[in-house]
A and B are shown apart, each in its own frame.
Chain A
């Protein structure tokens, strides 16, 4: 059980450099911050500032050169492939800019994929999928395939899928990047609402200033350094 005072995310001295020699590019330089449980943090910065690299390191999708990342008290950077898979399956959920839905599956089936990865019993899976589709307002679109849904609807399916495994941490990389402003705002509002209702900690990378108002805290990042 997590210590109530312990942060959900604890990042310490995180550095990540791509390439080597003269061509080396430091995407993150000595980044440290904490995120409290249930907090929604917006990571903002221009393209190439290091937002995606930071989210990748938090979710164990990449390994830092130096520094540590602790999620709910567990060190992520030292986990092997299986440990990372387990972490992503049980504790950390990821949302993609391009939604990442499987075209041949219906909205409900896409939402159910993380539950299948956890081998959740069928009845429980169906209940949870129904609940989540209800939560994101897509109950009536449960049997439609991604190609039959609008961009906003697809991202809502992605939110439902991210929450399906009851993660403690939700990482969203530019979740509104492919949506128009109005739809993006609506999706972010929904994200804000479900994060609260599900009690999930969220780190959302965005470069849209409008969306920052929905976050509890804004973490500004520039040239790989946290600037605010």
Chain B
């Protein structure tokens, strides 16, 4: 193979051997960066899949796709019993399934087909007993049960068909043990029943059963099959349940009741693990097209599902998290690229004399550059491949776009800087002898610098505008918006530029202060800093890295605090009991207040979907009826929202109950009427409700006593408690409350923290902060090594003048640590300011689950990063001092 012209391989390998450590370091940086950036995409994709699956799972029945089959046609000339009714139902189910788009069908479980009646009133023993009949079929099979007594419902006749004159036609059904007990029915009972139009049938109980799996989706068709409701209505006892109709008894049911009494549904529940983030948008479109299909218009199957909005919300959360991850990755890659350039600079410094010599001997600049590329490319290439390989081993490699940038910079930066160094050899323009020419050169340098600074500022403004206008959340752009995501990095670079502008006057001012001192260290150190502290690249790297660290930790702190605030608000305290309405909960709240570790407790009625009307319109709200004094104590004893208006709810006067309102646009003002138990209760708005619970709709809060005075009676159904012992106290009290459930802050917080997206985002923020800190340390080390020869010579001359060793140490520490400290503090400040500026655009509330943008939290321990960096620099200074003192001074001065 012909070698490229001008490349002398022995020279090349010899040079690489002598600088193997720097090349290895650059390779490691490239590998780490490639590995991390390549691993982020699949990691976030997996988290996105888990998040979408979790959103679908959390949605429960809301995520189901429900097909409503057309009403059965009743022949006006007279009905006949059709023994193949169940087969027809199954065929209709298959038809519904086939009507679905295949991409939607793939993520759905087999449909649960149901034929249900309205609640039929039983007529045999008094009023107040209702039984709904339901035929349920999942993939051709009824829900699995074990028979406690009797057996499955059978056909009422051996004859294939009946006639409409045979009414009331008996229908065999089976009931659960709970329903049998609640309604007082037994196997073999024949129960006359009628629908709301007085159409009658006879229900025959064939058996009682116990479900094999209460969680089987089939039971969701009519929850009262397993959980009958027993209570009072208008002062009379009331019980209601549901009974199971079999495939054999379905023809009897179809024959017994007219078609308008029989509702036919097929419920397709999504299998969360089959739903992928990338498919979500397609699924959304499928559902929309299904709901607006021609079949609906022609009166055939109608479709209903909230799955589309569930997926839309999930996608918005994923897009938000991916945008936030993008911001972190852009910061990380930018810093890594700058460190690679710093490494290239070190290579060039070490080879400056060789490059000068090669140039003086007539080598062309492209030739020099090509040699350096040939030297760096294998290192960068191998590092990139290893990084991609590591990412694949760790969990699949996805994004290789950043790898190209890393490879490009790692392989070309040494060549470009080397060629530039070689170009300076013999360049008379560097220091012209002519004073006017020197001034012109200086002016040209100033203009170039100004142009560069202007370009940086323009890029920062552009990226910030993009961030403000578009945000980083772009559901339709899976790759993310790099322009918007790079805003924090550009602002960090602007911060570094400002710092580089400020440092010379500040140091000159400090030199002026030191000028009148007697000693040497402060004076000489400041003079040295004027010469060395304004090197561009180390300052930019440190500011960008520290800004990235602060942004990452602020993101972590804000998300975690947002999760904590959201969990506390969602629970309404440290623990909560939800139960059926019962005045006994007021006593329970009093008892809880006396429990160990409980600071306050309150009981109240929380009712969703309550209709409220005002002169401006109607709104459906969450109504909260509380003991306002106890609730105020509870809020004051916790970190929940403040509620100065609660004291105004306790109005002793008769008339409208004072109310606090949150949300509801402008409709909920002035006098309101709340529809409560089919009566209107007058309210008057006196203030703003506390921001608790993150409800999806408007909230109206009233005092229980005032509400009663106004004509509404609302026994509490919720008890809240706050204090470190609340969870234990509530858990101990809950078993005494029938039909109750307990929610605790700790559980809610754990659920939020373990959620796929926030956990991956927090992990990424912490890992990127750690890597950025490592890069900042590496940058400080490289910058120290780059400047070490010149520093050793300068210190050597000062030692030759009599500078004692202890002052050499002081000078070294000041010269190395002060610029790093200033840049690190400036970077932290820029990072905190950047976090504040971009917080609203990051849509963190989609990840924390809060109603609004969470408050920025910059953890105090983010400052530790500055201390770690400084400690590393002091170690570098100590090592350099040892190196300086080990060499004879004469040798140092001669170098």
Contact = CB atoms under 8 A, between A and B. Distances in A.
Interface of A: 52-53, 56-57, 59, 61-63, 81-82, 85-90, 93-94, 96, 100, 102-105, 109, 113-114, 116-122, 125, 161, 165
B801 A94 contact: yes
Contacts of B523: 109, 116
**Most A C-beta atoms less than 10 A away, residue of B527, B530, B801:** B801
Contact of A61 (B524, B794, B803, B889): B889
A120 B518 CA distance: 6
B511 interface: yes
B799 interface: yes
B516 interface: yes
24 contacts: A61-B893, A62-B888, A62-B889, A63-B888, A82-B804, A85-B802, A88-B799, A88-B800, A88-B801, A89-B802, A94-B801, A100-B800, A102-B527, A105-B527, A109-B523, A114-B801, A117-B801, A119-B518, A119-B519, A119-B520, A121-B518, A122-B518, A161-B801, A165-B802
Contacts of B797: 96, 100
A62 B520 CA distance: 24
A62 B888 CA distance: 5
B888 A102 contact: no
Interface in B772-830: 794, 797-805
Given A116-B518, A116-B519, A116-B523, A104 B530 contact: yes
B888 A88 contact: no
B891 interface: yes
A80 B481 CA distance: 64
B524 A116 contact: yes
Nearest to B504: A104
A85 B803 contact: yes
B528 A56 contact: no
A117 B893 contact: no
Contact of A82 (B524, B805, B885): B805
A147 B90 CA distance: 96
A117 B664 CA distance: 76
A59 B798 CA distance: 13
B525 to A, nearest CB: 11
B273 interface: no
A52 B892 CA distance: 12
**Most A C-beta atoms less than 10 A away, residue of B798, B888, B893:** B893
Contacts of B891: 62
B888 A56 contact: yes
A81 B528 contact: no
Contacts of A125: 518
Contacts of B524: 102, 113, 116
Nearest to A147: B431
Nearest to B800: A94
Interface string B526-543: 011011000000000000
B894 interface: yes
Contacts of A114: 801-802
A64 B300 CA distance: 108
A45 B2 CA distance: 50
A143 to B, nearest CB: 12
Nearest to B435: A148
Contact of B801 (A56, A63, A82, A113): A113
Contacts of B799: 85, 88
Nearest to A94: B800
A205 B695 CA distance: 89
The majority secondary structure among interface residues of chain B is helix
Interface string B880-895: 0000010011110110
Contacts of B520: 113, 116-117, 119
B648 interface: no
Contacts of B890: 52-53, 56-57, 61-62
Nearest to B797: A100
A165 B523 CA distance: 18
Contacts of B893: 56, 61, 96
B515 interface: yes
Nearest to B802: A89
B518 A104 contact: no
A104 B527 contact: yes
Contacts of B530: 104
B894 A104 contact: no
Given A116-B520, A161-B801, 18 more contacts: A52-B890, A52-B894, A61-B889, A62-B888, A85-B804, A89-B802, A90-B802, A96-B797, A96-B800, A104-B527, A104-B531, A113-B801, A114-B801, A116-B519, A117-B802, A119-B519, A125-B518, A165-B802
Interface in B500-520: 511, 515-520
Contacts of A59: 800
Nearest to B523: A116
A89 B800 contact: no
Nearest to B508: A104
A102 B801 contact: no
A103 B890 CA distance: 22
Contacts of A94: 800-801
Nearest to A95: B800
A81 B805 contact: yes
Nearest to B507: A104
B805 A88 contact: no
Interface string B386-427: 000000000000000000000000000000000000000000
Contacts of B804: 81-82, 85-86, 89
A89 B807 CA distance: 13
Contact of A85 (B531, B794, B805): B805
Nearest to A56: B890
Contacts of B518: 116, 119-122, 125
B793 to A, nearest CB: 8
Contacts of B515: 109
Nearest to A99: B797
B435 to A, nearest CB: 10
A96 B798 CA distance: 11
Contacts of A81: 804-805, 885
A89 B803 CA distance: 7
Contacts of A61: 800, 888-890, 893
A161 B524 CA distance: 14
Contacts of A117: 520, 801-803
Contacts of A82: 804-805
Contacts of A100: 797, 800
Nearest to B520: A116
**Most A C-beta atoms less than 10 A away, residue of B530, B799, B800:** B800
Contacts of B805: 81-82, 85
Contacts of A62: 888-891
A114 to B, nearest CB: 5
A144 to B, nearest CB: 13
A82 B889 CA distance: 13
A88 B518 CA distance: 19
Contacts of B803: 85, 117
A-B pairs with lowest CB-CB distance, top 8: A89-B802, A56-B890, A116-B520, A62-B890, A61-B890, A104-B530, A100-B797, A61-B889
Contact of A102 (B528, B802, B889): B528
Nearest to B804: A85
A117 B805 CA distance: 12
A90 B801 CA distance: 9
A111 to B, nearest CB: 11
Contacts of A56: 888-890, 893-894
B61 to A, nearest CB: 76
Contact of B531 (A87, A103, A118, A161): A103
Contacts of A57: 890
Interface in B755-780: none
Contacts of A86: 802, 804
A96 B800 CA distance: 10
A94 B802 CA distance: 10
A90 B803 CA distance: 11
A60 B889 CA distance: 8
A53 B891 CA distance: 9
Nearest to B888: A62
